[in-house]
Copies of this chain bind each other. A is one copy, B any other.
Amino acid sequence: MTFSQKLQQVTSSLGIGLCVGLDPDPDRLPEQFSPDLNGISDFLHEIISITKPFAAAYKVNTAFYEAWGASGWQVLENVAFSLPPNTLRIADAKRGDIGNTTKHYAKAFFERLPFDAITLSPYMGGDTLQAYLENPDKGAFTLALTTNPGSADLQHFSDGRTMLYQKVLSLIPTWAPHKNLGAVVGATHPQELKQIRADFPQVPLLVPGIGAQGGDAQAIVDASGPHRAPVLVNVSRAIIFPQDEKNFPLNIADACKKFCQLLNIKIEK
């Protein structure tokens, strides 16, 4: 199944899917888990089992695993192989390097590990994304307009008509003939998100920022529909670390239900 078909399959009739971000901050684990790699590993396996009925995709941010060195990578590998294969499994790695080197990253995430997609930085240009896009069954999401305040520093740099993030979006069809390249656009920019959906309706999106970062879920729903490429809406902290940690695991499921409702996603699994 191609990346494009899988993305269609995991998302709702409106083309929206909930992506659960597995970013295990050891300082925020519920008290029944030890704040070490064993605790993190147990916690993540529980999270996956609770969120499975709601998740269209999972996103694993490599930073939280690399912080533990080689043993952290072992946990990352175990987690990757535990993700349900009927979801879109995303390595949130934001890698970018020259061609000779990216082959090795592609091998790491797509051959050694079973990820379906990876996040990438576009700064180095289209040739540096190719190793991840050659196989139509795998895909990538390039950073475009990110959630953080500093995103304006370069992403708003403009030639008078086009801002850098729009330039990135406009290059996506050239860079990805297999239609397996989407873009990361933060929900903290609802106006721009709406405009991006109108200007680039065929670009799939990975949208972070509606949980802990305060982005706008309704803007995503309003900008979705059957004639547009699918959107995966990522929530990390607001699902895996809900405020009321006493009722774990019930509150995790409740958080998923809440976000599915906000995003008009019917639970069918």
- The reply to whether B159 and A98 form a contact with Cβ atoms under 8 Å apart is no
Q: Which B residues touch A61, using CB under 8 A? A: 97, 101
Q: Is the CB of A69 within 8 A of B63?
A: no
Q: Does A117 contact B (CB under 8 A)?
A: no
The answer to whether A151 and B125 touch (CB under 8 A), given A69-B73, A70-B71, is yes
Q: Is the CB of A63 within 8 A of B153?
A: no
How far apart sit A160 and B158, CA to CA, in the bound complex (Å)? 9
Cβ of A23 within 8 Å of any chain B Cβ, yes or no, is: yes
Most chain B CB atoms below 10 A, which of A96, A97, A99, A127: A97
A13 CB, nearest partner CB in chain B, Å:
31
| Contact B167 A112, beta carbon cutoff 8 Å | no
Kindly state the separation between the CA atoms of A63 and B158 in the bound complex, as whole angstroms.
Answer: 32
Tell me if A214 counts as interface (CB < 8 A to partner B): no
Of residues 90 through 142 on chain A, the ones whose CB sits less than 8 Å from some CB of chain B are 94-102, 104-105, 107-108, 112-113, 121-128
Q: Nearest Cβ distance between residue A126 and chain B, in whole angstroms?
A: 5
| CB pair A69 B77 closer than 8 Å | yes
Interface residue ranges of A58-106 to B (CB < 8 Å): 61, 63-64, 66-74, 76-77, 94-102, 104-105
> Which one of B104, B124, B153, B164 lies within 8 Å of A150 (CB-CB)?
B124
How many copies of the shown chain assemble into the complex?
2
Q: How far is the CA of A77 from the CA of B70 in the complex (A)?
A: 8
Contact B125 A122 (CB under 8 A): no
CB-based contact A104/B157 at 8 Å: no
How near does chain B come to A268, taking the closest CB pair, in angstroms?
32
Interface residue A267 (Cβ < 8 Å from any Cβ of B): no
Bound state CA distance, A173 and B265, in angstroms? Answer: 46
List 8 tightest A-B contacts by C-beta distance, closest first. A125-B150, A127-B150, A125-B153, A70-B73, A63-B104, A67-B104, A70-B74, A66-B108
- In the assembled complex, 28 residue pairs joining A and B whose CB atoms fall closer than 8 Å, in A order, are A25-B100, A63-B95, A63-B97, A63-B108, A66-B104, A66-B105, A67-B104, A69-B73, A69-B108, A69-B112, A73-B73, A94-B96, A94-B97, A96-B121, A98-B146, A121-B121, A121-B124, A122-B123, A122-B154, A123-B154, A124-B148, A124-B155, A125-B150, A125-B152, A126-B153, A127-B149, A154-B168, A157-B164
